[in-house]
Structure 1
């Protein structure tokens, strides 16, 4: 067994590199991103597939305040010296994550959003002291920093920060927003969706709607919120999802990368089990392993070479949506779930642009959520079962691996059983009421 340092639970690129952690090189993504030339780039992938680490990598590469040459030394992107000369540490960067902007009440989530904005202002406190930035902007900046700003201040905060950074540096700003859809997902769970949408669509929308201070934006999340809700007015906008072939190698591990990791850690014989449990996700035309699972299992093998695969990935962030589907009285998908659990496939329509307030209003949306969040994966035409033909505007889906099958077996199936029991109880009480009413009528006669 070879002792390597795994980046367990680390999603900060600088920490991974300076701690000498094992890193599978994904820096080629930078060159492909810059080759796109879109102003707003939305990247949607399931949880635990490396989105945050990728966003952190971008921040380290572009941020004008840093010298990142040592971090990228020896990696693929460093081979393109001209690109590095033009882009590495050449632009002001505003990097934020909305993963913690949540709560049971709107007031709680809104308070956390103000905290995120305040933290950004503290990180860029030089803007409040710069002799180049506007005095009125500094006053608003001070309110945001101290969390005393009003709703208008909050909604316009990112636009204000890009303007101040542009003025200070004399360069346009790169904006990186990680987990942009978490506030709306939680708002959908706790019934304050419209209130949060009203904040978020202006908070983010003002940044990419005719913003003269924006170089480009990269936005990551699990779902593409319908363009009418969040990305209205976004100029030169592109969305990249698990259905797209572009960037298909950059989120998650390919089989070649997993094989290399297992060789380097001394467990090459573990590949067949890891493949059964953690492979099977289809991004574009590429079969992808979940990196979170692979790293967790290799870590377990390093502690105990006889360790068996376990369920490391349960996407609790979308469990509430799925359970709400199952509890709806007019949606009955038991048969399709039984087909999936038996190793079969289903053919359904998929919507890739959803809003969290309508996510649980149709069966089509259920399959869309399960597909986009990693519970189900696409079957390519050449892999269809004998006799099955691909229908227009539909995708053929299956459970990707043993781990997700265990999630369905242990969790989703139990929810269906709860629903059936509840329906049986309701039917029992209805019949009891009918009997009681009948006896009362007989006595009355």
Structure 2
């Protein structure tokens, strides 16, 4: 058994290095950051790609009083002159805004006060600092008193909140005689939450003023690093900030420091004796292109490896997809016209589309056009690029199987939601099955397919295509609440795709096939033959059904054929 634990859900550098967790060495990020020095540096990367861990690493490296042992054996330790000059030499303010949320502005502002107050509490020695005046110590006390309803004379008012990071920088710089490093993780989360809950304008003003004070007019700032998922428009919150250097997933600089490279994954799998699982892991979790480097999602790789260590037969899962709301994909589906649906079909099938990508947006811009939604899908990791053209155009693709299956699941949910909204139409469709109206079923199913998004590309295996159509048809039929519907139920000598018992004792068996070669008729006949050979209708007769109707249904893209036998 290997001695190092996998760091599931742990994004604290000190905790990982002090408690014998496996660590993928990204410490040369420090050297490159110093070499390409910028006063304010913004890194945009999708969630779960190591942003918070890198921020924690920066704090552990630069902060006065740091534990040098944390970096022993890591690549940065080989840069002796750099370590001697920079390691443990700066006061560091480090905050994360990922918890700044609320149903209204007051609640979100209170959350922001708490974040600032908790960080300020780390520096309680400032209350006794001989370098600070009484007035400055009073200013510090206002930073740690976050309850605006308090009767104390020291309260973090709105003006104090706006100037809080600048004030804390000033106090620390004066105490230590050194300029401050400011780290702000997940800087865009408060804006996202504000947009969702209707107080976007108020939050924009607060964040703009706070960042303006901390990053633009702060003489005590050595440098700052911000991370987030989106590059929020400079006009929105970075007004007048001329010292901002932005590094997106399209940039080659720093491309290997967020996410796992092929070399990182090879070393990890070798360490844990999981090398034989490389192809499966690549298929599911690789495929992102950051700059010029192929990247895996670290969250996925670590979680799946952890499961494999206890169960060598475990199937891969959608770990990354389950950590976010996926609302942006739902927005795309809701606004999709027929052209956009065709583009989504191409992506699900393993193809590419060409889109103009805007990487600097406001949250309002996202809703302005469907083209902006494509840009956000790219920035947040749902899409990746397979080629770049002039005019900010990119060839976009789904990065891997995990995201492809996420899209398929969301398409199923969207289809069910939209079709169930028209009860007259769906009742007519379902009612045609016990009545044996094959033409009605086929015509209406074709209409549903045209209105929906199908899986038609040869890059997707046949079994996945059949599962997609199975799920779509099952969702339609389950609108009939009085029907007993079973999916993949053992009936006779095998498992039928769909079996139905109606209240008037009609039994229905449906077998679904995908016609890769386009021969729908032959596929339908194969389906009916399978129903007969496997005796799928037997269990329905035993349940007292007086009549059994057997349907073979074949699909190919948006085409379908329905054949019935009784």
TM-score with structure 1 setting the length: 0.90
CA contact (8 A) 1:4 1:265 kept: no
Mapped to 2, the partners of 1:364 and 1:143 lie a distance apart of 45
Q: 1:240 to 1:391 in 2, by over 3 A?
A: closer
> Greater relative contact order: 1 or 2 (C-alpha under 8 angstroms, separation 6 or more)?
1
Query: Quick check: 242-251 or 105-114, which moved more?
Result: 105-114
Mapped to 2, the partners of 1:391 and 1:247 lie a distance apart of 23
CA contact (8 A) 1:189 1:321 kept: no
Question: Which residue number in structure 2 is paired with residue 112 of structure 1?
Answer: 111
Mapped to 2, the partners of 1:175 and 1:315 lie a distance apart of 31
Question: Which residue number in structure 2 is paired with residue 437 of structure 1?
Answer: none
Mapped to 2, the partners of 1:36 and 1:312 lie a distance apart of 34
Question: Which residue number in structure 2 is paired with residue 309 of structure 1?
Answer: 316
**What secondary structure, in the 3-state scheme, does the structure 2 residue paired with 1:414 have?**
helix
Q: Deviations over 1:241-294 (max 9, x none)?
A: 100000111111011110111110011100000000000001001110000000
Question: Which residue number in structure 1 is paired with residue 379 of structure 2?
Answer: 372
Q: Deviations over 1:120-177 (max 9, x none)?
A: 2211112232121233232232122111321111011001000111111111000000
Of the candidates 254, 262, 265, which is equivalent to residue 269 of structure 2? 262
CA contact (8 A) 2:287 2:400 kept: yes
Mapped to 1, the partners of 2:216 and 2:209 lie a distance apart of 10
Question: Which residue number in structure 1 is paired with residue 56 of structure 2?
Answer: 56
1:184 maps to 2:191: yes
1:93 maps to 2:75: no
Q: Deviations over 1:371-400 (max 9, x none)?
A: 00000000036xxxxxxxx46431110000
1:221 maps to 2:198: no
Mapped to 2, the partners of 1:111 and 1:22 lie a distance apart of 37
Mapped to 2, the partners of 1:97 and 1:380 lie a distance apart of 34
Question: Which residue number in structure 1 is paired with residue 340 of structure 2?
Answer: 333
Question: Which residue number in structure 1 is paired with residue 66 of structure 2?
Answer: 67
Q: How do 1:409-428 residues align onto structure 2 when only pairs under 5 Å count?
A: 409-419=408-418, 422=421
CA contact (8 A) 2:4 2:20 kept: no
Mapped to 2, the partners of 1:322 and 1:307 lie a distance apart of 28
1:171 maps to 2:178: yes
Q: 1:270 to 1:392 in 2, by over 3 A?
A: same
**What secondary structure, in the 3-state scheme, does the structure 2 residue paired with 1:233 have?**
coil
Q: Deviations over 1:372-430 (max 9, x none)?
A: 0000000036xxxxxxxx464311100000100111011244225524654x57999xx
**What secondary structure, in the 3-state scheme, does the structure 1 residue paired with 2:283 have?**
helix
Of the candidates 293, 305, 327, which is equivalent to residue 298 of structure 1? 305
Q: CA RMSD in A?
A: 2.0
Question: Which residue number in structure 1 is paired with residue 202 of structure 2?
Answer: 195
CA contact (8 A) 1:193 1:357 kept: no
Aligned length: 418
Structure 1: unaligned runs, 5 residues or longer: 382-389, 429-445
TM-score with structure 2 setting the length: 0.71
Mapped to 1, the partners of 2:412 and 2:226 lie a distance apart of 34
Q: 1:38 to 1:391 in 2, by over 3 A?
A: closer
Q: 1:299 to 1:25 in 2, by over 3 A?
A: same
Structure 2: unaligned runs, 5 residues or longer: 147-154, 427-566
